[in-house]
Amino acid sequence: MNIIMSKYLIGLMVALHLLTFSEDVSAQTVTHSITVKKINQTLAVQFPFSKSFQGTRVVFSEPKAVINALDKTLKLQMMITSTNAEEMLLVEATFDGNMIFNHFSEAYLFEDLVLDTFKQQVDSFNDSKPIVKVIKQSLINDFEDIVLVNLEQYSSELPNRQADEIDISLKQIHFIWH
């Protein structure tokens, strides 16, 4: 009877091991894709906003996420406007940055902004160099949190933690949890 019971227990242990192994194998990978259009909608809620730098008022508007699928990067493009009476400076600026997960807000933020391009579209100032200098020196440190993706919007579908992988592809970002 001991031999039969031993064989039964060994068989039962093997079956339990196989069940445990099959559960590990079948663990589901969750993937969620966010389009550039959706990111731009999230950005639009946060803009326009204005800041003053050394007496110069600057308005930041028309944010747009720019994805480069080849080098897997995300940049933020926006218009920067400064006016004084009849004078106007309009600049298209693009920023590099990092997509950082904020555990408290369960959102991906665009942080550590670095000015990538600064293209003057309109310049009717007699001398805009001081204004341009003030904008370039000051604007990066004065941005509040810029939310790209708020996972709380999808709380019933997605894990409430940082994704294990992020893949940037053509016109969308894929968040992957294992």
Q: Residue 121: count other Cβ atoms within 10 Å of its Cβ.
A: 12
Closest among 59, 58, 61 to 40, alpha carbons compared:
61
Query: pTM of this prediction?
Result: 0.78
Inform me whether the pLDDT recorded for 8 exceeds 70.
Answer: no
Distances (CA, A) of 66 to 10, 79, 89, 111, 160: 59, 14, 23, 15, 26
d(CA 161, CA 103): 7
Give dist(CA 83, CA 88) in Å, integer: 4
Q: Which two tokens stand for residue 92?
A: 């298209």
- For residue 73, the Cα-to-chain-centroid distance in whole angstroms is 11
Domains along the sequence of the chain with CATH: 30-177 (3.15.10.40)
pLDDT digits (tens, 9 = 90+) for 125-165: 999 998 898 888 776 666 778 999 998 887 667 787 899 99
Give the strand pairing for 87-102 and 73-84: antiparallel
pLDDT, tens digit (0-9, with 9 covering 90-100), for 69-105: 899 999 999 999 998 888 999 999 999 999 999 999 8
Q: How confident is the model at residue 10 (pLDDT cuts 50, 70, 90)?
A: low
Terminal alpha carbon distance of the chain:
45
